[in-house]
Amino acid sequence: MFSSLIIVLAVLLIPILIAIGIYNSLISLRNRYKNAFAQIDVQLKRRYDLIPNLVETVKGFMRHERETLEAVIQARNTAVSAREHATADPGNAAAMAELSNAESGLGGVLGRLFALSEAYPDLRSNENMLQLQEELTSTESKIAFARQAYNDAVMAFNNKLEMFPSSIIANIFNFVPATMFEVSDDSEREVVKIEF
């Protein structure tokens, strides 16, 4: 009688313990991708903080390129807003798409700014410009590494969501797939080259 009671309890308890383990692993993976996004967020904020300094440095040399400078500031402001939305919920697909698009737009206008700056030899040799160039290059590399770590964490989380039996627990507790932070512009896949 006692041994049959232990068997019944074990049969009931084992699935509960498995479900708890799966739930906890889903929470752990979700927290991992959110932490990975936080690392991207730090680097994006650093990049956005460098851009006004860049514009101020360039402004003195490129007085006739006002539209380009205004486009850089507008793209930066759009990217800052998109970053804030994505930071609030990195699992939100729309917020991640908004951030990806804003980053592509910012990359495009920064590329245009650097291309125009080639026509200004004094700007290319300016100490502030050289320092900003180095900081931006370093930051771009850090963003790329942080994006890779984030996407790896998202893939691990999404794989866990789709695999059996964790998919059952994920559905019961309304876990939703996370969205990768993908570049939408093929030029962003290339190594950043800022030359003066």
Domain boundaries, the chain: 2-189
pLDDT of 130: 82
- Token pair listed for 103: 């980053």
pLDDT, tens digit, 9 for 90 and up, residues 34-59:
999 999 999 999 999 999 988 888 88
- Token pair listed for 56: 């101020």
pLDDT-derived band at 151 (thresholds 50, 70, 90) equals very high
State the Cα–Cα distance between residues 93 and 43, nearest whole angstrom.
Answer: 20
pLDDT-derived band at 111 (thresholds 50, 70, 90) equals confident
State the Cα–Cα distance between residues 2 and 25, nearest whole angstrom.
Answer: 34
Residue % of the chain over a pLDDT of 90: 58
How many Cβ atoms from other residues are within 10 Å of residue 95's Cβ?
19
Domain 2-189 has CATH 1.10.3720.10: no
- The upper half-sphere exposure of residue 99, i.e. CA atoms within 13 Å in the direction of its Cβ, equals 26
